[in-house]
Structure 1
Amino acid sequence: MKHILSVLVENKPGVLSRVTGMVSRRGFNIDSLSVGPTEDPTMSRITIIVKADELAYEQLTKQLNKLISVFKITDLTDVAAIERELVLFKVNAAPDRRNEIIEIANVFRAKIVDVGRSSLTIEATGDESKLKGMEDLFRAYGIKEITRTGKIAMSRASKDA
C-alpha cells in the first residue's frame, strides 16, 4: 500500500539525510520526496511517499519518531488531503501545430512558460491522473523533456471549523 507521510522536522543541515537514510536502511524505496520550509523558518516539511504493508509502515513511523530532529509525523494516506505535483513539459511544436498544443494546455489550466523555434514549454500543477493525462496527449506531438517535482500534500480543512 502507498503511504503519504508529512514529516515536520528541524530546518537544519543533515536532517533530510538522516530521515532519508533511516527510510532506506529499513528497506523502503521512496516513490516521491519533497522538502521545503514552513511558515516557521526553523522548521521544514518533508513529504515522503513509500509503499509498505501495515506492519512495516508502523515500524517505519516508530523509527522516524525516534529521530531527534523529527517533531511531528502526519499520515495523509487515508484522510481527506490535497495532493499536488508540478511538471514542466518541453513539447515539439511545429508552427502549424502550436495552437493545438496551446489549446491542450488551456484545457488543463496549464501555462506556456517558454516558447522556442521548435518547442513549447508548459508548466502544470495537479494530481497524478491530471498530469498523466497531459503527458499522454503531449506524446502525440513528441516530448523533448519532462521534469517533475515530488508530490506535496496537506490535509483539507475540517468542514466543522
Structure 2
Amino acid sequence: MMNLKSHIGEELTTLTDPQLSEPYSVLGNGDCWINNMMFAYKDGYPVDIILLDWQISRYVSPALDLLYFIFCCTDEKLRRQHYNALIHLYYASLKELLERLGGDTARQFPFTALFQQLQTCGKFGLLMAVLIVPLLYTNKTDLPTIDAEAEKLDETKQMDLPSGMNEQSGAKYRK
C-alpha cells in the first residue's frame, strides 16, 4: 500500500488500459456497486438485475467491474469466507448467459482468462475501495470528489481519514 500511494493515479490508468486484457476486453460499467443495481424480486428473492449509471463506462477487463463490486460492496469477513465462491458464481452466470445467446465461454472468455485478469488487476479493487468506501460513510453535504481524494493522497502520501469523515464514520471505514 505504501508503494501504491505514491502513484495511485498511474496505477489506475495502467489497470484500466484495455490492452492489458485483450482479447477479452469488454464495455464495463465503471461504477459497478450496489446503488447502481435495480433488482426484481419474486417471493422475496432477487430474480433479475439491471445495471444502471453507465456515464463512466469504458472498454476494459471484465475483471474490473467484478473487483470493484466485491471490494466496495462487501466486508472483509465475507470476502475471506466466500471470495472464491463469488468468482465461480460470477463465471457460472456468465457462462449460462453466453450459452443462451449462442456463445461459448471456453472460446470467448475461458475461466483461466478470468483468473489471470483477477491476478493482474486485483489491486484495482483495493484502490477503488480506498477511494470509494469512505464516500459511503460520509455525510452527503461533506462529500469530497474522488479526484480531490486521489490528489490529496498523491500529495500527502497519507491515508488519513478522507475529507468530511469524523471519528465515528472513520471507525466504520477502517473496519
Higher-RCO chain (CA-CA 8 Å, sequence separation at least 6): 1
TM-score (norm 2): 0.27
- Structure with the bigger percentage of helix: 2
Answer with 1 or 2: which has the greater Rg: 1
